[in-house]
Amino acid sequence: MQFSAAQIAQIIQGRIEGDASVTVGSFGKIEEARPGQLAFLANPKYEDHLYTTGASIIIVNEAQQLKQEVKSTLIRVPDAYSAFASLLNQYQQIKTQQLSGIQDPVYIHPSAKIGGQVFIGAFAYIGEDVVVGDGAKIFPGVYLGNNSQVGANSILHPGVKVYHDCIIGKNVTIHAGTVIGSDGFGYAPQPDGTLKKVPQIGNVVIEDFVEIGANTTIDRATIGSTIIRAGAKLDNLLQIAHNVEVGNNSVIAAQAGISGSTKIGKNVMIGGQAGIVGHIQIADGSKINAQSGVSKSIKTPNTAVTGSPAYEYTSALRSQAVSRNLPSIEKRVKELEDMIQSLLKQAKP
C-alpha cells in the first residue's frame, strides 16, 4: 500500500513542509530508513539523522528547529511519537480489516452467534452459545469455550484460549498463547495433609480497549469475576490470579505476578518481575518499580515504591545512598570509638 504525504498529514492532522505528493509504502527507523519509507523523530538524541536519513517522509514535532537543509518531506505535529503511534494503529487496522471469512477446517457450534465481517482462522473452536461480535478477528488455533463472548472489532491472535463463561469486550487485542479463564489456584488443606481443590466457578471479564501480551494467564474467579478494566495494557508472561481487579488504563510489564483478590487502581504502573501479594489494594496512580515485592496495601494515590519488601521510592534511594557509604561510615565510627577511648584514658586520675 502506498500513501502520500498529503494523505498521511490528513490522518494525523499534521502540517506539510516539502513535497506533498511524495509517497511511502513502509516504515523505517530514522537512522536506517530508505527512500519510499516513513520515519519519525521524537527523541533529540537522534536529531543528527534528520539530515542524513534516506526516508521520504519524516514526522517531527511542531517545535523542531532545523539546523540545516532537510531532503525529506516533513510533517509537523504537536507530538511526533503519539502521531506515529496513531498512524501505525491505522495501518494495522487496514491490514486486519482485509481479513474476513471463515477458513476451513473450523468447528462452530450451531448455537454460536457470529457477527458480520468476522474472520475465523483454520482450526479455531467456537463452543456452545458463544457470541462473536461484528468485525472480530479470530486467528488460527483459537479456542472459545461455551458461553464465552468476544466483542466487536476484538482481535485474538493464534493459540489464544478463552475458557467457558468469560467475557471479552470491544476493541480488545489478545496476543498469541494467552489463556483467559483457567482455574484460580485454590486448595483447602485437609486433616490428613492432602489438599482439596476449591472449585473455581467465576469468570474473567475483560473490558473494552484492553491489550494483553503473549503467553499471559488470567485466572477465573473463585466466585464472581476477575476483572481487567477498560484501557488497561498487560505485557507478555504475566500471572493474574483469581478475583484480581486491574483498574482503568493501568500498565503491567512482563513477568509480574498479581496474587488473588488484589485490587489495583486506575493509572497504576507496575514494572517487570514485580510481585504483589494477595488481598491488598494498590491506590490510583501508584508506581511499582521493577522486581519490587509489594506485601501490603498502598493507600496513598500516586505513591512510588521500590525494593523487596517495597517501600517509598525516595526513602529507598536515600537508603541505597547510605548503604554505599557504609565502609566509610564504619571507618569514621571506629575512629570516633578510638578517640573516645583515648579521651577516657586521659581523664582517669
The rounded distance, in Å, linking the Cα atoms of 305 and 298 is 9
Burial 235-260 (b: 16+ CB within 10 A, else e): bbbbbbbbbbbbbbbbbbbbbbbbbb
Sort 343 into a burial class: Cβ within 10 Å, 0-12 / 13-18 / 19+.
exposed
Which position has the grid cell 475465523? 120
176 CB neighbour count, 10 Å cutoff: 16
CA atoms within 13 A on the CB side of 54: 9
Annotated catalytic residues are: 242
Are 305 and 313 spatial neighbours (Cβ–Cβ below 8 Å)? Answer: yes
Instruction: For residue 101, give every residue at least 6 positions away whose Cβ sits within 8 Å of its Cβ, in sequence order, or none.
Output: 119, 120
